[in-house]
């Protein structure tokens, strides 16, 4: 067991593992920033320009054809 812990400590302190962990954290934060920009800045401006007639809350653009009988997935809010 002691050998396992020493090997894990050696792996965790290598630069590659730390770089990967930092990259994952930055990626997650960047995703939240983009979601917030779109939801709180871009969509209200577009809604104002279009006169508020378009509801973007349930809008979805399919990037590929959806097979018959399979419901379109909606992005969950929360």
Query: For the residues of 17-60, what is the DSSP string, one character each?
Result: HHHHHHHHHHHHHHHHHHHHHIIIIIHHHHHHHTTT----TT--
pLDDT tens digits, 20-63: 888 899 999 999 999 999 888 988 888 888 888 777 766 777 77
Please tell me the total number of residues recorded for the chain in this structure.
78
- Of the candidates 60, 65, 63, the one whose C-alpha atom is nearest the C-alpha of residue 76 is 60
The model carries a pTM of 0.50
Domain locations in the chain? 1-78
């Amino acid at each position: 067991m002691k050998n396992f812990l020493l090997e894990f400590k050696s792996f965790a302190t290598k630069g590659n593992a730390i770089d990967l962990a930092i990259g994952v954290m930055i990626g997650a934060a960047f995703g939240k920033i983009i979601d917030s920009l779109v939801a709180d800045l871009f969509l209200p401006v577009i809604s104002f320009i279009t006169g508020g007639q378009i509801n973007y809350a349930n809008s979805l653009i399919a990037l590929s054809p959806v097979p018959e009988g399979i419901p379109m997935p909606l992005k969950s809010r929360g």
